[in-house]
Amino acid sequence: MNKRGMVPIATLHVVQMRTPSDTSEIEKLFASGEVDPYEIIAVVGKTEGSGLPNDHGRAFGDLSIRSLLASYKGTTPNQIAEEITLAISGGSPGTVAPHATILSQRWVPEHEVAAEQPTGGLVLGRSHTTEIYPQDIGRVSQVDATTKAVLEAIEDAGIEDLSQIHMVLVKGPALSAESIATLLAKGIEPVTRDPGIGPMGSMCYSNDAMAIGVGIALGEIEREKVTDATIRNDWSLYSNVAATSSGGEKLKGEVLVIANSPKSHSRLRAGHGITTSVGSSDGLKEALRSAGLNFDCCPTEADKSNIAQIFGKFTLPGSAQLNGARITLLDDHEAHHIAKTIGGATVTSVTGLTMAFISGGEANSHMGPPNGNPICAVVKI
């Protein structure tokens, strides 16, 4: 598409999913004309489930949404996977409600936009990596593929100022017990033999390789400092806006860039912040203020009504010490779920939102500085 003389208008709708296969609220958006299936850039959502490699709820939610879009567009679910970014995160513990966020964008001739329409708003860009093979997961080849795709997504959005990028979401592949066994049978050693989300889990390696790729694309990380050995080892390398996750249902890295642009005529604006600890809401408030909300301690009810969505990554801290005391979070057998629970409770307590995108559970991460977590807020303007 030739975008010369065109300006973007991005929209966002959040709907609940009563089960991983429930797409009825998305269908209502299509029926009312609020959302055009052909303008969807991405769907980002939460399903109930374990959040682990065998989370069938997550895979079912992904397939259900692709099947719905395929039926409206007269194509196949596999083709939909090539046309949009679909990032479904498994596990909705605590106050996190299963939902789907529909992100759409259309480009229109600038002269057709009303003069009173706001500028400087939300803009979206998307791209996919090439296929990431099991032997490449968690290694520099996945880093480089992600970097390339993020740069393509930035170009897709028409972004010229990288400081206006407030989150880069990437959903990519993870190893499974089967793919690990297949590699070993071929004499190929995978990055790890653990398919899970623990400190040595393939989901963590995949997520962090993609996070480093984001950081390189945005100039936050120097490529020459990255080797296979630095992934999940050198925590001085990180991105302030990467939010990555993985699952066995994916073959490629699917990228969504969330940013602002002076060319945008969206009635939404994004901002981001970094939490300073697992027990702090400071990064969330920073993200809201960065997006344009003005408040002292906490958002008022009027402020809350203008919050369109929160995208947050909540990982496990690198230390068992919090505010001078020992916590047992790192010893819990479902620590990955507890991290999401903490994130969800934090977001709900400050914003009132339950249908917020809360991903996480990794032990340490290249997403944000040590003990910090990236959060993106989208508000109405």
Angle made by CA atoms 180, 181, 183, in degrees to the nearest 5: 65
Q: How many CB atoms lie within 10 A of CB 113?
A: 14
The answer to whether the CB of 158 falls within 8 A of the CB of 74 is no
The type of residue at 381 is I
| Structure letter (DSSP) for residue 231 | T
- Give the relative orientation of helices 140-157 and 202-217 as an angle to the nearest 10 degrees: 50
Provide the token pair at 9: 């208008």
Return d(Cα 365, Cα 237) in angstroms, integer. 9
Buried b (16+ CB within 10 A) or exposed e, 276-304: bebebbebbbbbbbbbbbeeeeebeeebb
- Continuous segment of H or E residues that includes residue 341: helix 335-351
Clarify whether 171 is annotated catalytic.
Answer: yes
Return d(Cα 23, Cα 31) in angstroms, integer. 12
Exactly one of 104, 206, 239, 245 is catalytic; name it: 245
- Give the relative orientation of helices 24-32 and 56-73 as an angle to the nearest 10 degrees: 20
Clarify whether 246 is annotated catalytic.
Answer: no
Mind spelling out the 3-state secondary structure of 88-155? EEECCCCCCCCEEEEEEEEEEEHHHCCCCCCCCCEEEEEEEEEECCHHHCCCHHHHHHHHHHHHHHHH
Exactly one of 104, 127, 148, 171 is catalytic; name it: 171
Instruction: Of 78, 242, 233, 90, give the one whose Cα is nearest residue 174.
Output: 90
Catalytic residue numbers? 171, 245
